[in-house]
Structure 1
Amino acid sequence: MRDAPPAAPLLPPIEIGVAVDRLYIRIPKRNFVVGLGSVDPDSGFDLALEAAHASDMQLVLSGEVPATAEARSYFQDVIRPRLDQRRRFLGPIGFARKRWMLGAARCLISPRRSVEPTSLAALEALACGTPVVGYPAGPLPGIVEPGVTGFLAEDVEGFVKAVEAAATIDPDACRAAARTRHSIDVMAERYLTLYDDLAMGREPAVGVA
């Protein structure tokens, strides 16, 4: 919507939802940071690793390395040399392990620099009661409320400070934001209401870019 031509008539946005109830978990927070997602040059995981080394934070990365030469080279040449006992890469993981990791982590670090439609990892983290520290690109400025559900940062120093400050975020504020704005049930209800309005010839509320 932000990229639409000026004055383009748009239906109101319906934010993507996640299974908040299934993700709900209450466990003690641990002193580590987690990163989830596709391991490619746009992921920014090299920035996360630099911040982790600069502050000696424990970082756990999980995700798939795409089957492209560019992604494989990025992992082998940029990511792997930065891994050690406190900075680990797990590869793909299942739902139960992901939920535990998100629930126990101090924060999710999301330094992806490319524009993408949404960040499911960020929404899942909030549903688990975990703040998000992210790069101010793509959907994250619309997901992260600074000081309430996380922080935004642009460089190593900023990420180090944001991760430290993430310990002050209330997990219940993250869960509340997920339930109010990012629940899959809320998303489905909004779509059904929109479809019903269109089917019955009612004029849905229209926004303007």
Structure 2
Amino acid sequence: MKTKQNVVIKGTKDGLTLHLNDKCSYDALLEELKEKMDAVNDQENGSIISVTVQAGNRYLLDEDIEEITEIIRKRQNLVVEQVKSNLVTVEEATRWREESEIVSYTGRVRSGQIVEVPGHLLLIGDVNPGGTVRAGGNIFIMGKLRGMAHAGCYGDDAAVVVAGQMMPTQLRISRCLNRAPDRYEVEDALETECAYIDDSNQIVVDRLQVLKHLRPDISTFKGGSYSG
């Protein structure tokens, strides 16, 4: 009966992928990994090979990843590009949840005040001149935006800003910046609008109705509340 391999090496156009058995003991895995790496090193002496490690459902501590990486690095021609796993840490799961969550804030953001959330922000109130709202995702303002808003502040180019009255002193989405045009002087003529980055990498302010076509993935979020 053929024994299952703990390390399976597959060649790709980008180098090698090492598939690690996630059912065997860690010591058995390391022992076979050393043997396989010696064989690869002998066959490919002199040429640099990029290596991707796929750990499957095995949970690896930082020191485990470093130990596996070091075994591969000792072979002079092998370079570890990344170590992948099907599992996520508690910290990663918490961060993903925060970044996808919509946080509601009720009240006026006054001059000098800054409201920042890691995910999406729903503001039920106004942003006064001198006030600032920032979000890692989208910003929805059920009121007047007369201060500064920065959506996608961690680099999300797909983020949007929606406001009942769009009169910002400064508007930012990801790395793009736009100042308010003169047409925002007549407040009574304004309606709910949205701002987004277009194909030319510029911030565009348009009617709210275009949002469902531009960002069809925007839906109802489960959220909490913000206390600042």
Band the TM-score falls in, shorter-chain normalisation: under 0.3
> Which structure's residues are more often strand, by fraction?
2
Bigger relative contact order (CA 8 A; separation at least 6): 1
TM-score normalized with structure 1 length: 0.24
Larger-Rg structure: 2
> Which structure's residues are more often helix, by fraction?
1
TM-score normalized with structure 2 length: 0.23
